[in-house]
Structure formats: C-alpha cells, structure tokens
A and B are shown apart, each in its own frame.
Chain A
Amino acid sequence: MSGVNRWRAREVTVRDRGWILGTFALLVALALWPVWRAVASAPPRLPDLPRPAGATACVEPVDVMRASHMRVLETWRDRVVRDGVRTFMDRSGRVVTMSLTGTCITACHADKAAFCDRCHDYAGVTPTCWNCHVVPPPGSVAAGGRR
C-alpha cells in the first residue's frame, strides 16, 4: 500500500447517486421554506375596514373603488389641477367636490388610520398623497373642501 495517498479524492461512482440527489432535494426544500410556511399557516385575514357612518355609497361601486380608487383619485387630480373642473357627478346623479381632504376624508373616511392606512399596510404600498394633502385633526370639519 506504500506510495498510495490515502487522502486522494475518491472518484465519484454510481453508488453516490443517493447522496447527491438527497442533498439536492434538501437544498430545494430549504429554499422553498417560505412557500411551505405559507401553505401550512391559516390564510391571512383581510383588513377590517370601518364603513363610514351615515354614508351608504361611494362615488363608484365598492369593487371599483377597492381595485381602482387610485385611478379615480388621479383622474380627479388632473380634472381639478389641470382643467379647473371641481365637481364630479357619480352614477346616481349625486354631485360631489373632487377633493381628497375636503370630500373623501372630511365627508366619509374621517379615520384615515383605520381606513386608508390599515389597507395600505396590508397591501404593502406607501402612497405619497399624504406628504402634501392634509388630514384634518379628528373632530374638525373643513369648510367647503378645497382639494
């Protein structure tokens, strides 16, 4: 046996197939850990959003608002700022002032933290609207509605 290095790398043979595939499968399983965890845990609860007291309908049906309220607000923004048009007539013929602070917040969703923020946190989005648009302190009623 002299002259043969015992520590020389052994050649990989067909008998090692089990080890190789087993290790590979373990790595794949570990990489997919977040998937297993999501499958195992209970489905997440949708955020519980308070309905505004006294209001029965938004300016568009609920499913439209839920999916596309940001498009509605962008359209309002362009109409007011670019075109100088300040009122909007919804499908029921009701006319509202196109104003995030003056209408959306003041007239209906006074509790921004429980309505806007709760759902935005759930969806993982950070809209920049509130960097400028003012949330009136609770209890104060804005006059007229400006923007």
Chain B
Amino acid sequence: MTPGRRRFLRVTGAAAVAAAAGAALGCAAGRSRSRRLGFAIDAQRCASAKGCLDCIRACHRTHNVPDIPDAGHEVKWIWKEPFDRALAVDDPQILTPALRGLPVPVFCNHCDNPPCVRVCPTQATWPRDDGVVTIDAHRCIGCRYCVAACPYGSRSFNWVDPRPYVRAPPSDYPTRSRGVVEKCNLCEERLARGLRPACVEACAERAIIFGDLDDPASDLRRALANRYAVRRKPELGTRPQIYYLI
C-alpha cells in the first residue's frame, strides 16, 4: 500500500461523504421559498350570510372570468360546495349534521406539492417562491393534463372564446383565449401592489382568512392554532394550503 493510493482513497471517500450530506440537506430544505401563502375558511361565518356570493362576484369581476350559460363550457375560479361534498370527514363528532350542508367557498388550493405542475408538458404552470401556483397563459398549449391531474376540479378549460361572456366593462386584467386553461391565481397581480386577494377583501363576514403559513405571528396561524381545521383530500399528499375551520 503506497502513500499515493492511501491518499487517493481518503480524498475520494471524503468527497463521497460530502456529496451524500449535501444531497440529504438539499432534500430536507426542499425548494427555497420566501413565504407560504394560504387561507383558512370559517364555514360557520361564511354560512351566516345566507346566499352571499360576494367573494365569487369580486373574484370573477377582478379577473374577467366569463359567465358562460352552457354548463359544459363553464369557467370558474371560485365557487361554493356543500361542506360534506368538499371535505370528506369521517368523524361524526366533527362533521355534525349542522355542518354537513353548509356551503363553503372552494378554489385552487395552491398545493405545496401540486400535481398539475408535475404533468404540465410546457412548464406553463409552476409554484412561485411564495407558494402561489401560477399559470403562464402565453405558454399553455391547452392539453388539459393539469385539469385531469387536479384532484379538486380547480381548473377550467376555455372551450369557447370567453370574451363575449365577460361582464362589461372588463377590468384591465387580461381575459383568456379559447384553448387555454385557467384558475385562481391567488390575486398575484393584487399582491404585487400590496393588496389582499379580492375574495378576502370582499367578504364582509371575514370568513376567509389570508396570510403566510410560515409566519407564526400571522392571523392565519393564530386562527389555525385555536380551531380544529381540515383540508381537502389530504390523503393524496398534495399538501393543499386552504384550511377549513370547524
């Protein structure tokens, strides 16, 4: 055993250990992120205003979401579902009969592990470093893989030109064109101007709490600390970022 060989083994061994440690650290850290934006929705507060559609109206007006009468061509960013249809809770002590039929707003969960992003062949949809799962309509080729991949039905495809169905006068947010997919963008254009999402701002009952899930001092984290909360289909491992308070 010559000194040269021994030295070679020591150096390669050290390099292998360093590489393994680096990979392990990288896995643990995940992708870098500045914030993790999310929501908590208070079903009881939401239901206290019967038949209220303020959040839906505000969102759809802000983003020029078309109102297409043909249900087969429907485009929606936010809508309401009965609690028991949106959230599968198998504990009868939690899912009380009173809670069961309450309408709750549902929209894109901005998953921390978004399946829609994984299937997109053109990287037209991706998670930003603040957790917003966004779409580049310029790059969308309309293959609808993401529509199939989303377990929450949060994505709509434009089967027809949406322009004639956009409420006049349109806001200055771009409409979409025939052949692209769209969904809630977490009001990223409003966040850029320091505003809260339109649905949060429109809700007089303050049933939609918005904030940074990584910030323990945020209203959102405080609400989650005090109340029991469930998420939609957590068993799928998508890590949805909308919590429903019970």
Contact = CB atoms under 8 A, between A and B. Distances in A.
Nearest to B175: A132
B121 interface: no
B174 A132 contact: yes
A51 B176 CA distance: 30
A102 B193 CA distance: 13
Interface string A128-140: 1001111011001
Interface centre among B172, B174, B176 (most CB of A within 10 A): B172
B28 to A, nearest CB: 26
B179 to A, nearest CB: 10
Contacts, number: 45
Contact of A84 (B137, B192, B193): B192
23 contacts: A77-B138, A81-B134, A81-B136, A81-B138, A82-B136, A84-B188, A101-B172, A101-B174, A106-B172, A131-B161, A131-B163, A132-B137, A132-B174, A134-B170, A134-B171, A134-B174, A136-B169, A136-B172, A140-B169, A142-B172, A143-B172, A145-B172, A146-B172
Contact of B189 (A136, A137, A140, A147): A147
Given A134-B170, A143-B172, 12 more contacts: A81-B134, A81-B136, A82-B136, A102-B172, A131-B163, A134-B172, A136-B169, A137-B169, A144-B193, A145-B172, A146-B172, A147-B172
Interface residues of B, number: 21
A24 B79 CA distance: 72
Contacts of B192: 84, 86
Interface of B: 64, 128, 134, 136-138, 161, 163, 169-177, 188-189, 192-193
Nearest to B178: A131
Nearest to A144: B193
B173 A147 contact: yes
Nearest to B129: A84
